[in-house]
Amino acid sequence: MATVLKARTIVPGRCRGQVIKTSQSISFWGGVDPGTGTICDPRHELFGQTISGKILAFPFGKGSSTGSLIMLELVRIGKEPKAIINIKTEPILATGPIVSKHFYHREIPIVAMDKDQFEQLRTGQNIKIDTLEGCLVIID
Amino acid sequence: MKLTSDEQDTLQGNHGEAARLAMAVIVDIGELFGAEELIPVSQAHIDTTIYMVDAGVEFVEKLCELGARFSIPTQLNPSAVDLQRPEKLRADGEILEKSRRLERAYLKMGAIPTWTCAPYQQGLVPMFGEQIAWGESNAIAFANSILGARTNRYADLMDICVAIIGKAPGFGLHLTRNRKAQLLVKLADIGSDRFRDKTLFPLLGFVFGELAGDRIGALEGMPKDVEVDDLKAFSAAAASSGAVGLFHIIGVTPEAQTREMAFQGEAPEKTLEITSQMIQNAEDRLRTTNGREADLISLGCPHYSAVQFSRLRDCFAGRKVHDSVSFWVNTSRSVYSWIENSGVLQELEQAGVTVFVDGCPLQYPKKNWNFTVAMSDSAKFANYCFSQTGLEVAFGSMADCVETAVYGKIIRRGLSWQQS
């Protein structure tokens, strides 16, 4: 049976895809390879895994203001994540998807959810995000 | 968010496509983070200046081709290369070409070619309380904390949009209520006499940033008679180890002349302590050399000031850099011309020092040089050095760096906080 999680819309959009989840924070600058969309920080638990085409779930962003530029490069070369799920989204993280929407007409929805909801997400789950009527995150 | 009729017009595209796109991004960010209105900002400092990926070049060129012009005074963070002496730096051809494209577009849009990460020591220095839009973590922390100007931590791309429109969403650190300290950070066994050792400032900043994360901390226990270059080292280190946009130093920084001011009359949410041991651990974590000797001294992270160059000349005292070592300092074109006019530059060059402008020491063209170990007086540089340049790194004071360069062996003299 499908499970519906409660979430808040940060950047609107809809998509369906597979979750890749980490409980660690992610810095796009220095943490994600802008040429491939793989996690390139050897200290990160997702090191070597790709986020491109996935629904990336991580609790918070961290660090550099250059993260927005790395996200835009992933969009430019078609290696961006399908969507992002956070507990807390900071402006630097939201800037990449917002610029993508206006400059590349590419939608990368971001939703935020409370910790107990976030913890129901698992890597490999197929989920649906739809922020157009309310904010729905459904685990198939 | 309430928009004025003029702002609505811009959003509708009545002031051109470039302004429409920039305004759309600004309005979305404002709506998202609860801004009630857009506020005028008096100047911008753009961080999207180091060529890293093609998306940045395309973004800037697209806006430029659409006719975008900066509506407020706008200065620039460093380029990836020394734009005036790329051959001397052995800059990579492709990176130089992309950097030139960024340079052309930014100058056409009206930017001032400052190319520096220390805009607070030359050029457009904001006043207390001034609303500004700055990128670059060390510059943001310095402007908010040391000068008392007001900026959020502007993301790359957003900084450009705000410089075009001249307005920013009014949320976060632009508002008085969001500038109060949350954490009280005390010094445990670090007395004010320990601050005579200049390396305490960057190391303390590094530990402070780790403790604060994205919260606003107020440090208690720093003596009042500190120099601006020491505050700069503290600030740069704190903003590299934590998401620090604003900090307070009680009795030193303008919004924290007293503890009550720093906390806006409220009680701290939490009190933490920094110990000598934590400072020592920080230095141990920043050093990756394992007994190897430094072949590059890299200073100027953030860009060196004219005062720092004079001190550097004094440290050499007529001696010369050893054959086994290269000695590089990065600064801005303005500071370069000052030290050229004063003769300090020529003295340093005779000692074997190379001064680069416009660029960033963390962007050094590694393919074209064979260095293995760098030494610096910057905890920010040491923090990012290995991941950004592949070089191993040692940390020391300016004087330690000079002694190391003169003798060709890493010299790190007595740490005052170890004596207790």
Query: Which of A7, A4, A39, A1 shows the shortest CA–CA distance to A20?
Result: A39
Q: Tell me, what's the pLDDT at A30?
A: 82
CB contact under 8 A, B48 and A103: no
Position B304, amino acid? Y
Interface contact A68-B172, CB threshold 8 A: no
Domain boundary among B146, B172, B198: B172
Judge whether A24 is closer than 8 Å to chain B, CB to CB: no
Q: Which of B126, B144, B172 is the last residue of a domain?
A: B172
CATH of the domain at B349: 3.30.499.10
Rounded-to-5 percentages of helix, strand, coil across chain B = 45, 15, 40
Q: Which domain holds residue A70?
A: 3-139
Q: What is the DSSP string of chain A?
A: --EEEE-EEEE--EEEEEEEE-SS-B-HHHHB-TTT-BB--TTSTTTT-B-TTSEEE-S-B-S-TTHHHHHHHHHHTT---SEEEESS--HHHHHHHHHHHHHH-----EEE--HHHHTT--TT-EEEEE-SSS-EEEE-
Look at residue B420 in the predicted model and tell me its pLDDT: 40
Active site residues of A: 64
Interacting residues of B306 by C-beta distance below 8 A, sequence separation 6+: B121, B335, B338, B339, B342, B344
User: pLDDT of chain B along its 420 residues, tens only?
Assistant: 999 999 999 999 999 999 999 999 999 999 999 999 999 999 999 999 999 999 999 999 999 999 999 999 999 999 999 999 999 999 999 999 999 999 999 999 999 999 999 999 998 999 999 999 999 999 999 999 999 999 999 999 999 999 999 999 999 999 999 999 999 999 999 999 999 999 999 999 999 999 999 899 999 999 999 999 999 999 999 999 988 999 999 999 999 999 999 999 999 999 999 999 999 999 999 988 888 999 999 999 999 999 999 999 999 999 999 999 999 999 999 999 999 999 999 999 999 999 999 999 999 999 999 999 999 999 999 988 888 888 999 999 999 999 999 999 999 986 654 544
Q: List the single best residue of B48, B156, B160, B240 to mutate versus A (max A Cβ within 10 A).
A: B156
Q: Are residues B236 and B206 in the same domain?
A: yes
Domain containing B382 equals 288-418
Eight-class DSSP state of B263: T
Size of interface A-B (CB pairs under 8 A): 92
Domain count, chain B: 3
Q: Is A73 part of the contact surface with chain B (CB cutoff 8 Å)?
A: yes
B276 with B303, same domain: the answer is no
Q: Band the pLDDT of A29: cuts 50, 70, 90.
A: confident
Q: What is the pLDDT of residue B106?
A: 98
Please enumerate residues of B whose Cβ is less than 8 A from a Cβ of A: 21, 24-25, 28-29, 32-33, 47-48, 52-56, 58-59, 62, 135-137, 152-159, 172, 214, 243, 384, 387-388
A36 touches chain B (CB under 8 A): no
- Give the span between the Cα atoms of B270 and B267, in whole angstroms: 9
User: What letter represents residue B89's amino acid?
Assistant: L
d(CA B127, CA B306): 21
Residues of A in contact with B62 (CB under 8 A): 103
Residue B380 identity (one-letter amino acid): K
Quote the pLDDT of residue B411.
Answer: 93
Answer for the pair A12, A18: CB distance below 8 angstroms, yes or no. Answer: no
**How many independent structural domains does chain A possess?**
1
A139–chain B nearest CA distance, Å: 25
The reply to whether A95 touches chain B by the CB within 8 Å rule is yes
CA distances from B15 to A96, B7, B12, B68, B283 (A): 24, 10, 8, 10, 53
pLDDT of residue A37: 96
Mean pLDDT of A24-45: 90
> What is B142-177 written as a DSSP string?
IIIIII--B---PPTTHHHHHHHHSEEE--GGGSGG
Same domain, B261 and B292: no
Instruction: Tell whether B316 and B414 lie within a shared domain.
Output: yes
> What is the C-alpha to C-alpha distance for residues A5 and A13, in angstroms, rounded to an integer?
16
Regarding whether B312 and B166 lie in a shared domain, the answer is no
Q: What is the domain-level CATH number for residue A81?
A: 3.50.30.10
* B278 plus B307 within the same structural domain: no
| Cis peptide upstream of residue B223 (ω within 30 degrees of 0) | no
CA dist list (Å): B353 to B145, B330, B378, B405: 32, 11, 17, 10
**B259 and B353 co-located in one domain:** no
Look up residue B298 and give its two tokens: 């890299």
CB-closest option in B25, B62, B387 to A30: B387
- Give how far Cα A9 sits from Cα of A48, A110, B23, B37, Å: 29, 7, 21, 20
pLDDT in tens, A50-84: 999 999 999 988 767 889 999 999 999 999 999 99
Average pLDDT score over chain A: 92
Q: Are residues B13 and B157 in the same domain?
A: yes
What is the pTM (predicted TM-score) of this model? 0.95
**CA dist., res. B97 & res. B113, Å (int):** 17
Distance from CA of B322 to the nearest CA of A (A): 34
Burial of B337-363, coded b for 16+ CB within 10 Å and e otherwise, reads ebbeeeebbebbeebbbbbbbbbbbbb
A90 interaction partners in chain B (CB closer than 8 Å): 214, 243
Q: Using CA coordinates, name the residue in chain A closest to B153.
A: A65
| pLDDT value for A64 | 76
